[in-house]
Protein backbone atom coordinates (compact mmCIF):
# COMPACT_ATOMS: atom_id res chain seq x y z
CA UNK A 1 0.00 0.00 0.00
CA UNK A 2 1.16 3.53 -0.82
CA UNK A 3 2.10 5.38 2.39
CA UNK A 4 0.74 8.83 3.25
CA UNK A 5 2.15 11.95 4.92
CA UNK A 6 1.10 10.86 8.45
CA UNK A 7 2.98 7.55 8.10
CA UNK A 8 6.08 9.25 6.66
CA UNK A 9 6.03 11.84 9.48
CA UNK A 10 5.79 9.13 12.15
CA UNK A 11 8.59 7.05 10.61
CA UNK A 12 10.86 10.10 10.43
CA UNK A 13 10.14 11.31 13.96
CA UNK A 14 10.27 7.91 15.71
CA UNK A 15 12.71 5.94 13.55
CA UNK A 16 14.88 8.49 11.72
CA UNK A 17 13.81 7.19 8.30
CA UNK A 18 14.85 10.49 6.67
CA UNK A 19 17.46 12.83 8.17
CA UNK A 20 17.38 15.77 7.97
CA UNK A 21 13.60 15.69 7.77
CA UNK A 22 11.52 18.69 6.65
CA UNK A 23 8.01 18.64 8.17
CA UNK A 24 6.33 20.64 5.42
CA UNK A 25 6.84 21.24 1.73
CA UNK A 26 9.26 24.15 1.32
CA UNK A 27 8.56 25.87 -1.99
CA UNK A 28 8.88 29.66 -1.82
CA UNK A 29 11.57 30.75 -4.30
CA UNK A 30 12.94 27.19 -4.48
CA UNK A 31 12.34 23.93 -6.22
CA UNK A 32 10.17 22.29 -3.56
CA UNK A 33 11.34 19.74 -1.00
CA UNK A 34 9.96 18.16 2.14
CA UNK A 35 6.89 16.19 3.16
CA UNK A 36 4.09 15.97 0.57
CA UNK A 37 0.73 14.18 0.56
CA UNK A 38 1.98 10.74 -0.50
CA UNK A 39 5.74 11.14 -0.64
CA UNK A 40 8.79 13.10 0.32
CA UNK A 41 10.59 15.48 -2.03
CA UNK A 42 14.34 15.12 -1.54
CA UNK A 43 17.11 17.65 -2.15
CA UNK A 44 20.28 17.34 -4.19
CA UNK A 45 23.47 18.21 -2.31
CA UNK A 46 26.22 20.48 -3.64
CA UNK A 47 28.46 17.52 -4.65
CA UNK A 48 28.42 16.47 -8.32
CA UNK A 49 30.34 14.25 -10.69
CA UNK A 50 29.72 15.60 -14.20
CA UNK A 51 30.63 13.27 -17.03
CA UNK A 52 33.07 14.49 -19.64
CA UNK A 53 34.64 13.12 -22.83
CA UNK A 54 37.90 15.06 -22.44
CA UNK A 55 39.91 11.85 -21.85
CA UNK A 56 37.84 9.77 -24.28
CA UNK A 57 37.18 7.10 -21.62
CA UNK A 58 34.65 4.33 -21.93
CA UNK A 59 32.02 4.25 -19.18
CA UNK A 60 32.36 0.69 -17.92
CA UNK A 61 30.49 -0.30 -14.73
CA UNK A 62 32.96 -3.17 -14.17
CA UNK A 63 36.07 -1.02 -14.64
CA UNK A 64 35.09 2.55 -13.90
CA UNK A 65 37.67 5.19 -14.86
CA UNK A 66 37.74 8.26 -12.57
CA UNK A 67 38.80 10.35 -15.58
CA UNK A 68 35.21 9.94 -16.91
CA UNK A 69 33.97 12.85 -14.82
CA UNK A 70 34.82 16.18 -13.23
CA UNK A 71 34.09 16.76 -9.53
CA UNK A 72 32.12 19.91 -8.72
CA UNK A 73 31.10 21.30 -5.33
CA UNK A 74 28.98 24.40 -5.85
CA UNK A 75 25.62 26.14 -5.22
CA UNK A 76 24.52 24.90 -8.66
CA UNK A 77 25.75 22.60 -11.40
CA UNK A 78 25.59 22.93 -15.17
CA UNK A 79 24.96 19.57 -16.83
CA UNK A 80 26.14 19.70 -20.47
CA UNK A 81 23.73 19.02 -23.33
CA UNK A 82 22.96 15.31 -23.87
CA UNK A 83 25.04 14.41 -20.83
CA UNK A 84 24.52 13.55 -17.20
CA UNK A 85 25.87 13.98 -13.71
CA UNK A 86 25.91 11.93 -10.56
CA UNK A 87 24.97 13.64 -7.31
CA UNK A 88 23.72 12.65 -3.88
CA UNK A 89 20.75 13.46 -1.74
CA UNK A 90 21.11 15.87 1.17
CA UNK A 91 19.00 13.38 3.15
CA UNK A 92 20.23 10.13 4.70
CA UNK A 93 17.75 7.23 4.62
CA UNK A 94 16.92 4.21 6.79
CA UNK A 95 14.30 2.17 4.95
CA UNK A 96 12.10 -0.14 7.08
CA UNK A 97 12.21 -3.89 6.38
CA UNK A 98 8.61 -4.11 5.08
CA UNK A 99 8.94 -1.06 2.78
CA UNK A 100 10.42 -0.19 -0.59
CA UNK A 101 10.96 3.40 -1.67
CA UNK A 102 10.85 4.56 -5.30
CA UNK A 103 12.65 7.69 -6.43
CA UNK A 104 10.92 9.54 -9.29
CA UNK A 105 11.73 12.84 -10.98
CA UNK A 106 10.06 16.16 -10.18
CA UNK A 107 7.86 17.80 -12.80
CA UNK A 108 9.71 21.14 -12.61
CA UNK A 109 12.93 19.55 -13.89
CA UNK A 110 11.08 17.13 -16.21
CA UNK A 111 9.55 20.15 -17.98
CA UNK A 112 13.12 21.30 -18.66
CA UNK A 113 14.23 17.95 -20.12
CA UNK A 114 16.00 16.84 -16.94
CA UNK A 115 15.42 13.22 -15.95
CA UNK A 116 16.29 11.70 -12.58
CA UNK A 117 16.69 7.93 -12.90
CA UNK A 118 14.03 5.87 -11.14
CA UNK A 119 15.85 4.17 -8.28
CA UNK A 120 14.54 1.69 -5.70
CA UNK A 121 15.41 2.12 -2.03
CA UNK A 122 15.29 -1.51 -0.96
CA UNK A 123 14.07 -2.90 2.38
CA UNK A 124 16.58 -2.06 5.16
CA UNK A 125 18.85 -0.11 2.82
CA UNK A 126 20.61 2.77 4.56
CA UNK A 127 22.64 5.67 3.16
CA UNK A 128 22.68 8.77 1.00
CA UNK A 129 20.95 8.22 -2.31
CA UNK A 130 23.18 8.55 -5.36
CA UNK A 131 21.21 10.30 -8.09
CA UNK A 132 21.73 10.11 -11.84
CA UNK A 133 20.63 13.38 -13.46
CA UNK A 134 20.31 13.25 -17.26
CA UNK A 135 20.05 16.29 -19.47
CA UNK A 136 18.10 15.16 -22.53
CA UNK A 137 18.14 18.61 -24.18
CA UNK A 138 20.52 20.07 -26.78
CA UNK A 139 21.28 22.88 -24.28
CA UNK A 140 23.21 23.02 -20.99
CA UNK A 141 20.93 22.68 -17.94
CA UNK A 142 21.25 24.16 -14.45
CA UNK A 143 20.64 22.09 -11.28
CA UNK A 144 20.18 23.96 -7.98
CA UNK A 145 21.99 22.52 -4.95
CA UNK A 146 20.09 22.09 -1.68
CA UNK A 147 16.75 22.29 -3.47
CA UNK A 148 14.28 19.62 -4.58
CA UNK A 149 15.39 17.15 -7.26
CA UNK A 150 13.05 14.16 -6.98
CA UNK A 151 10.26 12.60 -4.96
CA UNK A 152 10.27 9.39 -2.98
CA UNK A 153 7.15 7.32 -2.62
CA UNK A 154 6.97 4.49 -0.10
CA UNK A 155 5.17 1.20 -0.62
CA UNK A 156 4.54 -1.21 2.26
CA UNK A 157 4.32 -4.95 1.59
CA UNK A 158 1.63 -7.15 3.12
CA UNK A 159 4.43 -9.08 4.89
CA UNK A 160 8.17 -8.70 5.41
CA UNK A 161 10.66 -10.00 2.87
CA UNK A 162 12.71 -13.08 3.71
CA UNK A 163 16.03 -11.40 2.90
CA UNK A 164 16.51 -7.62 3.05
CA UNK A 165 19.23 -5.51 1.45
CA UNK A 166 20.95 -5.35 4.84
CA UNK A 167 20.73 -9.14 5.29
CA UNK A 168 22.56 -9.74 2.02
CA UNK A 169 25.19 -7.07 2.76
CA UNK A 170 24.23 -5.05 -0.33
CA UNK A 171 27.16 -3.34 -2.04
CA UNK A 172 25.66 0.14 -1.57
CA UNK A 173 24.69 -0.30 2.09
CA UNK A 174 25.70 2.66 4.31
CA UNK A 175 26.94 4.70 1.33
CA UNK A 176 27.99 8.28 1.95
CA UNK A 177 28.63 10.90 -0.70
CA UNK A 178 28.31 10.29 -4.44
CA UNK A 179 28.95 6.57 -4.90
CA UNK A 180 30.30 5.23 -8.19
CA UNK A 181 29.28 1.82 -9.63
CA UNK A 182 30.51 -1.17 -7.68
CA UNK A 183 30.92 -4.74 -8.84
CA UNK A 184 31.48 -7.43 -6.23
CA UNK A 185 34.56 -9.48 -7.07
CA UNK A 186 34.16 -12.06 -4.30
CA UNK A 187 31.61 -13.17 -1.72
CA UNK A 188 31.27 -10.89 1.31
Question: Would residue 178 count as lying in a domain?
Answer: no
> What is the reported pLDDT for 42?
98
Determine, yes or no, domain membership for 71. Answer: yes
Helices (H) and strands (E) in the chain, counts: 2, 12
Domain of 9 in residue numbering reads as 5-156
Cα–Cα dist 74/82, whole Å: 21
The structural domain count of the chain equals: 1
- Distance, CA of 58 to CA of 185 (rounded, Å): 20
Mean pLDDT by 10 residues, the chain (188 residues): 98 97 93 97 97 76 83 97 95 98 94 92 97 96 97 96 95 89 68
Catalytic member of 23, 132, 160, 162: 132
What pLDDT score was predicted for residue 65? 79
CATH number of the domain to which 41 belongs: 2.70.40.10
In this prediction the pTM is 0.90
User: Is 139 within the bounds of a domain?
Assistant: yes
49 domain-assigned: yes
Whether residue 179 is contained in a domain is answered as no
Condensed to tens digits (0 to 9), the pLDDT of residues 167-180 reads: 999 998 889 989 88
Q: What is the model's pLDDT at position 34? A: 98
The b-or-e profile of 115-152 (16+ CB within 10 A means b, else e) is: bbeebebbbbbbbbbbbebbbeeeeebebbbebbbbbb
Residue 176 lies in a domain: no
Contact 22, 33 (CB under 8 A): yes
10 is catalytic: no
Q: Is residue 170 part of a domain?
A: no
Judge residue 166's burial from the number of C-beta atoms within 10 Å of its C-beta, 0-12 exposed, 13-18 middle, 19 or more buried.
middle
Other CB atoms within a 10 A radius of the CB of residue 183 amount to: 10
Q: What percentage of the chain's residues is helix, strand, coil (to nearest 5)?
A: 10, 40, 50
In a domain, 23, yes or no: yes
Q: What was the pLDDT predicted at 54? A: 65
Amino acid sequence: MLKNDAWIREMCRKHGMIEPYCEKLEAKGKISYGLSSYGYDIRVSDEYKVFTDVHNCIVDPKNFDDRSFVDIKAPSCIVPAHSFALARSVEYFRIPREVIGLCIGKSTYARCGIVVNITPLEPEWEGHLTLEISNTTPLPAKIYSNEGISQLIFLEADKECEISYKDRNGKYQLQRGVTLPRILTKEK
